[in-house]
Amino acid sequence: MNDRKESSPLGAGGLNTTVLIIDDDEDILLSARLFLKQQVKQVITCKSPKEINVLLSKNEVDIILLDMNYQKGASDGREGLYWLEHILSIDKDYVVILMTAFGNVELAVKAIKKGATDFILKPWENEKLFATISAASKLRESNRKVKKLEKIHKSLQKDMTRGFEHIVGEADVIRNLQNTLLKVAPTDANVLILGENGTGKQVFAYEIHGNSQRKNQVFMHVDLGSLNENLFESELFGYVKGAFTDAKEDKPGRFELADGGTIFLDEIGNLTLPLQAKLLSVLQNRTVTRLGESKERKVNVRLITATNMPLNEMVSKNTFRQDLLFRINTVELLLPPLRKRGTDILLLANHFMQVFSSKYHKELRSLSTQAKNVLLNYSWPGNVRELQHVLERAVIMSDGNEITEQDLQLSPQRFAQNNAIPDEMALGDMEKLMVQKAIDKHKGNISKAAADLGLTRAALYRRIEKFGI
Ligand SMILES: Nc1ncnc2c1ncn2[C@@H]1O[C@H](COP(=O)(O)OP(=O)(O)OP(=O)(O)O)[C@@H](O)[C@H]1O
């Protein structure tokens, strides 16, 4: 191989870049090398483009200076175009600068259309060559940064989705909510999710995002409850360098970062009136202005909000703006507390038992009848989150392959408030719950359970089959 490599401590130019020059003219190679070795980290020269593959596989090349003609007498530049395509097929991010003779500008334009970054006319002036290489080096650097950020973005997205559960639930109220969710998700309608703490508002918000056309874009969760007056604007709208003492560099806000995706504003009921006004203006104009600048930046986000506070009541007490409520509640989802979800309690408990069994390498397969009764009769003030914690602890404490009442360690004061029958439970769900309770009470004895329910054994079996108990 007739290539030549020269490395030097960064010279006067100080460009931290490696340049590969391919030209069949020895004089060109020599003069380019002599000049560039003082300007860049490394210069590699080579006479034949046939060596490109080997050179690119052995060296971390940033910029390639490529001649257009190699065969004797050739001047149509076809070889250069061929090798340009070849290089870009190895990695489309290579920065290729073509060297062409005066009068061949049309050819250079054609090459740029095919993906070359720039061209330089031969013979060149060193200053012009340096300016071209310097611009190309900046481009290569920013391409690299973009690639790195894309990787980080992808892995963050994976992390974000990994943490979310799919909605578990079969109670009529949950099914109805899921139907509404599927209808509303593909639209860009603003959704307000209401419900007590731990009822799954974030799970529903993510499910809306996951069923929308924005599913491959960012899902940005912002806990408004944790932002004080000072942080609110800088976090949500961003700032420019110098906007305040600690603003050392420009920073986009959460709205800008969520551009193209979904922004989930949690605990919206906690916003003070002045902050509500600021948020409303962004939602109305769909633009944000970073602190310290006057430029308005357009943002395209889908808005989902959530709270456990009674927003309608707050409007009548003038602690929540009615115009903001109208802006955010195009569709409202009201998540019922867990104590009103009937046998979904057991469904969720089984689900969490499986999740934690596999996490803690345990072989738990079922809940004892007593444990089921306890779960159904507990009031669940912390809702699904509490159930999740209770099951995690039970899986850890359990010795056998069945979770017992003792493993659950539920506080006795919290019983009796809950008869596990929701206020607005559908008849079918109620019947299923009664059947399940009777079977549990008689420890699976069908005759006794049927007698208790005033049914024949056959009638009870039909219901067991119907409800999949
Ligand atoms: N229907 C469900 N299916 C499976 N897991 C659920 C369901 N609902 C909630 N969870 C789980 O319960 C926990 C609490 O849910 P989530 O954080 O969505 O509740 P939240 O209403 O947003 O709570 P908070 O009001 O405290 O912010 C999470 O770990 C979530 O994965």
- We report the CATH number of the domain holding residue 223 as 3.40.50.300
296 has a pLDDT exceeding 80: yes
The preferred substitution site among 384, 387, 388 for testing ligand 1, maximizing ligand atoms within 8 Å of CB, is 384
The model's confidence at residue 93, banded by pLDDT at 50, 70 and 90, is confident
Least confident window among 71-85, 87-101, 248-262: 71-85
| pLDDT tens by residue, 432-469 | 888 888 888 777 777 778 877 777 777 787 788 777 77
Tell me what pLDDT residue 164 has: 60
> Considering its fold, how many domains does the chain have in total?
3
Identify whether residues 257 and 385 lie together within a single domain: no
Closest C-alpha residue for ligand 1 atom 25: 197
Least confident window among 196-205, 371-380, 435-444: 435-444
| pLDDT tens by residue, 134-159 | 999 999 888 888 887 887 776 666 65
The preferred substitution site among 166, 193, 201, 202 for testing ligand 1, maximizing ligand atoms within 8 Å of CB, is 202
Least confident window among 39-53, 155-169, 316-330, 410-424: 410-424
Tell me what pLDDT residue 217 has: 87
Domain span holding position 134: 4-142
352 has a pLDDT exceeding 60: yes
161 has a pLDDT exceeding 80: no
Q: Which residue has the higher pLDDT, 321 or 416?
A: 321
Tell me what pLDDT residue 124 has: 87
| pLDDT tens by residue, 25-63 | 999 999 999 999 999 999 999 999 999 999 998 888 999
In a domain, 156, yes or no: no
Q: Which residue has the higher pLDDT, 225 or 188?
A: 188
Over range 72-80, report the average pLDDT: 79
Over range 377-401, report the average pLDDT: 93
Identify whether residues 378 and 298 lie together within a single domain: no
Interval between CA 284 and ligand 1 midpoint (Å): 30
Tell me what pLDDT residue 300 has: 94
Interval between CA 165 and ligand 1 midpoint (Å): 8
From 336, 353, 368, give the residue that closes a domain: 336
CB–CB of 302/163 below 8 Å? no
Identify whether residues 232 and 295 lie together within a single domain: yes
Closest C-alpha residue for ligand 1 atom 7: 200
Interval between CA 318 and ligand 1 midpoint (Å): 30
- We report the CATH number of the domain holding residue 137 as 3.40.50.2300
Tell me what pLDDT residue 268 has: 96
Identify whether residues 296 and 393 lie together within a single domain: no
Tell me what pLDDT residue 425 has: 55
The preferred substitution site among 385, 386, 387, 391 for testing ligand 1, maximizing ligand atoms within 8 Å of CB, is 385
CA 369 → CA 12, 73, 181, 339, distances in Å? Answer: 81, 92, 34, 18
In a domain, 398, yes or no: yes
Identify whether residues 462 and 357 lie together within a single domain: yes
Interval between CA 198 and ligand 1 midpoint (Å): 5
Of the CA atoms within 13 Å of residue 199, those in its CB half-sphere come to 22
From 312, 336, 360, give the residue that closes a domain: 336
In a domain, 356, yes or no: yes
73 has a pLDDT exceeding 80: no
Closest C-alpha residue for ligand 1 atom 12: 385
In a domain, 448, yes or no: yes
Of the CA atoms within 13 Å of residue 105, those in its CB half-sphere come to 2
Over range 378-407, report the average pLDDT: 93
From 280, 302, 336, give the residue that closes a domain: 336
Residues with CB under 6 A from ligand 1: 165, 167-169, 195, 197-203, 266, 308, 384-385, 388
The model's confidence at residue 2, banded by pLDDT at 50, 70 and 90, is low
Q: What is the pTM of this model?
A: 0.64
Ligand 1 nearest atom to the CA of residue 203, by list position: 18
The preferred substitution site among 165, 223, 224, 359 for testing ligand 1, maximizing ligand atoms within 8 Å of CB, is 165
Identify whether residues 311 and 345 lie together within a single domain: no
In a domain, 102, yes or no: yes
Tell me what pLDDT residue 284 has: 93
Identify whether residues 382 and 425 lie together within a single domain: yes
Closest C-alpha residue for ligand 1 atom 8: 200
Least confident window among 10-24, 201-215, 281-295: 10-24
Q: What is the mean pLDDT of the chain?
A: 87
* ipTM of this predicted structure: 0.98
Identify whether residues 451 and 402 lie together within a single domain: yes
Closest C-alpha residue for ligand 1 atom 26: 197
Tell me what pLDDT residue 412 has: 65
- We report the CATH number of the domain holding residue 463 as 1.10.8.60
Max mean pLDDT among 115-129, 162-176, 312-326 falls in: 312-326
Q: Rounded to whole angstroms, how far apart are CA atoms 43 and 36?
A: 7
Tell me what pLDDT residue 418 has: 47
Tell me what pLDDT residue 6 has: 65
CB–CB of 367/353 below 8 Å? yes
Tell me what pLDDT residue 415 has: 59
In a domain, 325, yes or no: yes
Tell me what pLDDT residue 414 has: 58
Q: Which residue has the higher pLDDT, 360 or 166?
A: 360
Identify whether residues 130 and 252 lie together within a single domain: no
Identify whether residues 332 and 359 lie together within a single domain: no
Tell me what pLDDT residue 287 has: 93
Identify whether residues 213 and 299 lie together within a single domain: yes
Tell me what pLDDT residue 29 has: 93
Q: Rounded to whole angstroms, how far apart are CA atoms 248 and 228?
A: 21
Identify whether residues 124 and 8 lie together within a single domain: yes
